[in-house]
Amino acid sequence: MALDFLAGCVGGAAGVLVGHPFDTVKVRLQVQNVEKPLYRGTLHCFQSIIKQETTLGLYKGIGSPMMGLTFINALVFGVQGNALRALGKDTPLNQFLAGSAAGAIQCVICCPMELAKTRMQLQGTGEYKLKSKNYKNSLDCLVKIYRKEGLKGINRGMVSTFMRETPSFGFYFLTYDCLTRYLGCEAEDSYIIPKLLLAGGMSGIVSWLSTYPVDVIKSRLQADGVGGIVRYHGILDCVRKSYHAEGLRVFTRGLTSTLLRAFPVNAATFATVTVFLMYMRSEENQIRGDLSGCEAGPAIQQPSSF
């Protein structure tokens, strides 16, 4: 369990590094003013950020997901594994229920982390060099929000985060379970890494598609109040005003960059986890073999948490 947890953390870090630029684009597109849009689409947003804010602009707010990474992985992998064992049988339904439980519980950390990430991503929009910084980093952002708004401010968007994470993690683990069974991912398979890349990437896409409209509302609620203007008074008010202003298309704003991000992020995560476990378990088996004089077992195993 400890090795799986550590592998998950390393894999998650790789996923954040690969996917954060896409996430920055997604957030910018989701919250931009429809009356005076800065970006015409995903590609234009990428180009504008790089031109106006350099490549580093794509990595604004990365400190927040990196800080929360260890705790989120501990909760997700720990809760999902224990929930699956508590349910008794490894069935598709139980995979969905265990994944949903993991998604629900990790919201406690995920919500403040994404709040700080969103605020940092929006800071200095369109500026090559920031004229003034409201927040020095993600931690400073959370501290200032807490001082101004208290715990309620830190947990802004908690309900919408819960509504997004609970089913999406259920679909994530369900899709991954079904794909790995269909592809026949076995420890001895020489093609296990490409298969895990495919299964992980597709699972990420399915999980995002399942709850994406909720993510749009969450981003708008967490970005609300930036610049001193408060536009929404809750989830339903945000849904109503967003729909009246932009129609149904508002609920798919930023979807392209999200799907472009979903596959490589989850593919990178699973590939890194697999390579990490291959190395660590081969070393462990070699040490055991040297100590016992017995031949070591297979060097690769599928992570129990996956």
What class, spelled out in words, does domain 1-280 have in CATH? mainly alpha
Mean pLDDT computed over every residue of the chain: 83
Q: How do residues 85-135 score in pLDDT, each as one tens digit?
A: 899 888 999 999 999 999 999 898 899 989 988 888 787 665 555 556 778
Long-range own/partner contacts, residues 66-72 (CB < 8 A, 24 or more apart): 66/13, 66/16, 67/113, 67/138, 67/139, 68/109, 68/110, 68/112, 68/113, 69/9, 69/12, 69/13, 69/16, 70/9, 71/109, 72/12, 72/106, 72/109, 72/110, 72/113
Cα(first)–Cα(last) distance of the chain, in Å?
12
Tell me the pLDDT tens digit for each residue of 216-267: 999 999 988 776 778 898 999 999 999 999 999 999 988 988 898 899 888 8
How many of the other CB atoms lie within 10 Å of CB of 256? 17
165 pLDDT more than 90: yes
Residue spans per domain, the chain: 1-280
- Cβ-proximal residues to 145 (8 Å cutoff; 6+ apart), any chain: 115, 116, 119, 153, 154, 156
Q: Percent of the chain having pLDDT more than 90? A: 32
**Confidence (pLDDT) at 167:** 96
CA distance 256 to 58: 16
Length of the chain: 306
Tokens 């954060």: give the residue. Answer: 20
| Residues 43, 66: Cα–Cα separation, whole Å | 26
Q: What is the pLDDT of residue 69?
A: 67
